[in-house]
Amino acid sequence: MYETAVTLVGEVLSAPRTRETKHGNRVASFRMVSIARRFDRVNQCWVDGDRVHATVNCWKQLAQGVSQALEKGDSVLVTGRLRTREYETDGQRRTAAEVDASAVGLDVLHESRSEVCDSEAGGQSSESVSREYLRAVPPCASSTESTSPHALGV
């Protein structure tokens, strides 16, 4: 049987929730969104494209690391196996995308979690964390959709 391998780059929408299965395996799950971006050469700005929402499931040791390292709003790279699940709500058929993750990492192109030096932080301690986002090109003023700085280069 064939499996659909995917790599998603996007933003964590919900803090990871950890649970244990009845067999004692740890599972951490979180929601994420991956937004396609394109550069509009006429207006010289980035615009949002299609969005993919997915639930990411991490098992065992990966679950432990994800639950300790990720928080809502983080930019991440997720690779794993794509599954779709169909269900019905109020008479409407819906499809949900889920990824059984084999690897999860912070996307350092879009987010910095490095420690800030005292001189750069204006007197703040070296333990304060910088959460600066790359904003090389501003979003179009005429864009009707909200743009996300987390999705640059997606």
pLDDT of residue 1: 64
Band the pLDDT of 111: cuts 50, 70, 90. low
pLDDT at 136 over 60: no
Q: Return mean pLDDT, the chain.
A: 79
Mean pLDDT is highest, among 27-31, 125-129, 148-152, for 27-31
Give pairs for 97-102: CB < 8 Å, separation 24+: 97/52, 97/53, 97/54, 97/55, 98/54, 98/55, 98/56, 98/57, 99/6, 99/8, 99/54, 99/55, 99/56, 99/57, 100/57, 100/59, 101/56, 101/57, 101/58, 101/59, 101/62, 101/66, 102/62
